[in-house]
Structure 1
Amino acid sequence: MQSIIKIESLSKKYKNADLYSLNDISLEINEGQIFGLLGPNGAGKTTLISMLCGLIKPTSGQFTIDNLSYKNDAAKIKKIIGVVPQEYALYPTLTARENLHYFGSMYGLKGSDLKDKVIETLDLLGLLKFADKRIETFSGGMKRRVNLIAGILHNPKVLFLDEPTVGVDVQSKNAIIDYLKVLNQNGTTIIYTSHHLAEAEDFCDTIAILDRGKIYAQGSPSDLIASTEEARNLEEVFISLTGKDLRDVI
């Protein structure tokens, strides 16, 4: 398989910080993968995704997405990636349809193409009958689904997901995961972070476990479980590698 993301010796140290948030990370993600980035609080997951999305600059190292670098091709990269943040990136007083038309227009969609795409995705995720209701009236699961749609309207080649099912009911979680699997089958590479390890074990074909700014292990969920003594599932692999200490951060 062909690599779509190549990361070489990537590091990040924030101003006035004593330690690196990411320390000399090298990684390749293949086209078509569902790649899970897992780690405790403060492991460096959000920092890594923020750099890959062009939100912050690395201290050192480099990376490419689809053979494009942010240094030379930032505008092109932004057209081929989608980002679904953990926090709702929605306007609460606008309707679902109004939110999606706004975000779709930011990606360059317009006219009947945008209108049809909004209707199609709302319908697929069970929200079409609520299209003209304000977001502030939606449940958490409904908001999470609209949040997802806002990030994929332009059919991105690479989709970054930060805790896409956090705080939702089982039905919404299943709807989101099923839709993401369809996106992946249609060619979208997915980079996913979550603290739901059972979900990650089922959803991801490859996992990298980060802690203290470094990659501790990488492989398929089944390979990671098989290579960890007495581990029966991904959660036990995770605890074996990162320990049981609490990771409260401020």
Structure 2
Amino acid sequence: MTAQTPTMLELQQLSFGYSGSTRLNVDQVSLQLKQGTCTAILGPNGAGKSTLISLMTGLLEPQSGTIQYPYYKQFTFKQAIANKVALVPQDFAFYDELSVRDNLAFFVSMSEKDRRLHRQYIDSAIDKCGLTAVANKRASALSGGYKRRLNIAIALSKQPDIIFLDEPTVGIDPLSRDAIIALLLDLKNQGKTLVYTSHLLYEVTQLCDAVLFLRDGKIAASQELNDAPLTLKFSTLNNLSQAQVALFVKPLTQLGNNHYQLIIMDANDLSRVFSALAKISHEIKSLQFSDNQVEQLYRALFAEPVC
């Protein structure tokens, strides 16, 4: 019998409004987060993303509804956050005048009482986040990419099971972004539960298992990404023959002269698709895979009306 994946966080009809606001900033939001998954919270500025994260991490108290960490029955809500939850904020949350290692030492001393573990936790965070080369460098002298990594390293030094990340790759170069996405994928594979916000939708398709779209504090839509279809578009030097088209098993759509599209609903079909492409490789002019389901849904939900 297969064991069920544990529920790490559960919200029921959660609502909150700032003092003086004419509307709720988070309005009856319900969701469950499962262990080892990454859930994206998306929406335009002012949709309620940061407020919702502040509620889930105990920085704000809800006005109505419930929020629980059911996996940690031995803890109160605040104890679960203190012991098992970490937040990577959008702003840099470290001391500029301290080195990378000294910043980590400070934050580890606040989260872990057993001093014998401090060195282990610091070294582990430095190694996981690729900070070895700058471990003794002042935080103020770091590049933007390394500052983002330090933000994440501070969260990891707490040894959390659940990590909230508020736009952790904003304003950095592509190589640093790739390193951070690879790190987060590795954390998810280790069983960590991630909650992610970003305006970079291609990051979401790389990293996340589900997406929650917020508009005016309410859930406008939600989407599981595990079974999202892939779109394959390719162009050829010449129109394919019927025999070449038949190699793909699944029906090809001809978009125009020498241009084709294939929708792949099952990842198990990829090997057959690649095999077919290999047999007509001499004809391939260009090739593009895309999973644009998130972007399409985002645009459908939030696009400004044309006047």
Quote the RMSD (CA, aligned, Å): 2.1
Identity rate, percent: 35
Residue 16 of structure 2 corresponds to which residue in structure 1?
12
Residue 243 of structure 2 corresponds to which residue in structure 1?
none
Q: Is 1:233 equivalent to 2:237 in the alignment? A: no
Residue 221 of structure 2 corresponds to which residue in structure 1?
217
Q: Is 1:168 equivalent to 2:167 in the alignment? A: no
Q: Is 1:77 equivalent to 2:137 in the alignment? A: no
Greater alpha carbon shift after TM alignment, 17-26 vs 103-112: 103-112
The whole-number CA distance in structure 2 between the counterparts of 1:108 and 1:118 is 11
Residue 154 of structure 1 corresponds to which residue in structure 2?
158
How many residue pairs are counted as aligned between the two chains?
240
The whole-number CA distance in structure 2 between the counterparts of 1:235 and 1:158 is 26
Residue 248 of structure 1 corresponds to which residue in structure 2?
none
The whole-number CA distance in structure 2 between the counterparts of 1:61 and 1:224 is 31
Residue 30 of structure 1 corresponds to which residue in structure 2?
34
Residue 177 of structure 1 corresponds to which residue in structure 2?
181
**Contact preservation (8 Å) 1:68, 1:77:** no
Q: CA deviation at 1:220?
A: 1.9
SS in structure 2 of the partner of residue 57 of structure 1: coil
SS in structure 1 of the partner of residue 168 of structure 2: coil
The whole-number CA distance in structure 1 between the counterparts of 2:229 and 2:67 is 29
Residue 101 of structure 2 corresponds to which residue in structure 1?
97
The whole-number CA distance in structure 2 between the counterparts of 1:12 and 1:225 is 36
**Contact preservation (8 Å) 1:11, 1:60:** yes
Residue 120 of structure 1 corresponds to which residue in structure 2?
124
The whole-number CA distance in structure 2 between the counterparts of 1:104 and 1:45 is 28
Q: CA deviation at 1:244?
A: 2.5
The whole-number CA distance in structure 2 between the counterparts of 1:20 and 1:224 is 32
CA 1:146–1:202 in structure 2 vs 1: closer, same or farther (change >3 Å)? Answer: same
SS in structure 1 of the partner of residue 185 of structure 2: helix
Matched to 1:206, the amino acid is A
Runs of 4+ that moved beyond 6 A: none
Residue 242 of structure 1 corresponds to which residue in structure 2?
302
**Contact preservation (8 Å) 2:164, 2:195:** yes
CA 1:3–1:26 in structure 2 vs 1: closer, same or farther (change >3 Å)? Answer: same
Q: Which has the larger radius of gyration?
A: 2
Matched to 2:298, the amino acid is F
Q: CA deviation at 1:73?
A: 3.5
Q: What are structure 1's unaligned runs of at least 5 residues?
A: 246-250
Q: CA deviation at 1:56?
A: 0.7
The whole-number CA distance in structure 2 between the counterparts of 1:213 and 1:34 is 20
Q: CA deviation at 1:116?
A: 2.6
The whole-number CA distance in structure 2 between the counterparts of 1:67 and 1:186 is 17
Q: CA deviation at 1:135?
A: 0.5
Q: Which among 55, 64, 67 is matched to residue 60 of structure 1?
A: 64
Q: What are structure 2's unaligned runs of at least 5 residues?
A: 231-290
**Contact preservation (8 Å) 2:125, 2:153:** yes
The whole-number CA distance in structure 1 between the counterparts of 2:220 and 2:229 is 14
SS in structure 2 of the partner of residue 208 of structure 1: strand
The whole-number CA distance in structure 1 between the counterparts of 2:208 and 2:90 is 18
The whole-number CA distance in structure 2 between the counterparts of 1:162 and 1:111 is 30
SS in structure 2 of the partner of residue 172 of structure 1: helix
Matched to 1:50, the amino acid is S
Q: CA deviation at 1:48?
A: 0.6
The whole-number CA distance in structure 1 between the counterparts of 2:131 and 2:297 is 37
CA 1:67–1:117 in structure 2 vs 1: closer, same or farther (change >3 Å)? Answer: closer
Q: Which among 176, 194, 198 is matched to residue 198 of structure 2?
A: 194
Residue 144 of structure 2 corresponds to which residue in structure 1?
140
